[in-house]
Structure 1
Amino acid sequence: MKRRPDDPDKPKRSAYDKALGLLARREHSRRELKTKLRQGGYQGEEAIAAIDRLGEQRYQDDDRFAQVLVRSRASQGYGPQRIRAELKTHAVPDARIRELLDEAEVDWDASAIDQLRRRYGGKGVVDRAERARRAQFLLRRGFAAATVRRATHAEVDDAADEID
């Protein structure tokens, strides 16, 4: 007979086992693990002890989590403001966020232009409204205003070069 996950006869997994299972799928921050364990019905002391133990065993590391998140989001085409905001939700200190973004060595201008090409293809900008739409798209993805300005004007300049 197959047991259902909510079977009352089945012993509840420990907070450590639950957190280890979560970490087996992907990296998690301490804050994220604590929240997920609390949602799973694990109380404060048990959850904190489990997270501390995982940290001592190097299964959970906030710095490694932050590095993976920066690389992942940058490769997905998100800008530094968006990545910074997401890292803040995981309680990564501002100074460390600056270091991580610098260490990533991402050419944000090239990334923004690449996102425009992916989204809008090779079509040039026809009017101001279209340029504004494209700028808003980049701003929503977390690129700085100066980067957006350079990217949207570079796109216009590239289109003008193709016409000549």
Structure 2
Amino acid sequence: MQQASFTLSDIRFSAMNFLALREHSAKELKEKLGRKFSSVELIDEAIAGLIEHNLQSDERFCQAFVSMRQRQGKGSVVIKIELREKGVSPELIAQFLDDTDDVWFELARDVWSRKFRGATPADARERAKQMRFLHSRGFASRHIQAVFVASPGEKGDF
């Protein structure tokens, strides 16, 4: 922690530097600033000011975070957990993370296809291995099951 005196503008400047690099949730920002500055009251005041001026937005953070994790091939289950840990409200999570959306089924199939090169599992053991992989990436059971069921218009995969 910084021992020298600091002002609200010092904290705000530091917060702006964090936000210039990427979106942060309010909780993340508070934690990072708390490691640098000792005044919880000034940190709260600085964050409230940033929110008021729309410089920090949990909504923007949530949207950017979901998009980033999808590009990384992560499923909705793990993304929900991470968003909760970052202090995002359940309402915002529900707004930006509809796990009934077809995008999750497509993403699970794409991740599976890249990892296993579309190779049909030869037996139950190989199928279980592939399913465990998708589970470890954070996909819901229904998304994983859909990967192993032929889509309409396709030849039966499995």
TM-score bucket of the superposed structures, by smaller chain: 0.7 to 0.9
Cα deviations by residue, 1:54-87 (Å, 9 ceiling, x for unpaired): 1122110111111111122122221111111111
Q: Quote the sequence identity (%).
A: 34
Q: Count the aligned residue pairs.
A: 152
The aligned residue for residue 95 of structure 2 is 99
Q: 1:126 aligns with which of 112, 122, 127?
A: 122
The aligned residue for residue 23 of structure 2 is 27
Equivalent residue letter for 1:98:
A
Deviation at 1:14, TM superposition (A): 1.3
> Unpaired segments of 5 or more residues in structure 2?
none
Query: Is the CA contact (8 Å cut-off) linking 2:28 and 2:87 kept in structure 1?
Result: no
Query: Is the CA contact (8 Å cut-off) linking 2:74 and 2:139 kept in structure 1?
Result: yes
More deviation in 122-131 or 11-20? 11-20
In 1, Cα distance between equivalents of 2:98 and 2:81: 16
In 2, Cα distance between equivalents of 1:71 and 1:123: 28
Query: Is the CA contact (8 Å cut-off) linking 1:74 and 1:106 kept in structure 2?
Result: no
Q: 1:59 to 1:103 in 2, by over 3 A?
A: farther
In 1, Cα distance between equivalents of 2:149 and 2:70: 22
Equivalent residue letter for 1:78:
K
TM-score (norm 2): 0.83
TM-score (norm 1): 0.80
Deviation at 1:90, TM superposition (A): 2.1
In 1, Cα distance between equivalents of 2:101 and 2:50: 30
In 1, Cα distance between equivalents of 2:22 and 2:37: 21
1:56-71 to structure 2, matched below 5 A, reads 56-71=52-67
What's the C-alpha RMSD, in Å, of the aligned pairs? 2.8
Larger radius of gyration: 1
Matched, 1:147 2:143: yes
Moved >6 Å (runs of 4+): none
Q: 1:85 aligns with which of 81, 94, 115?
A: 81
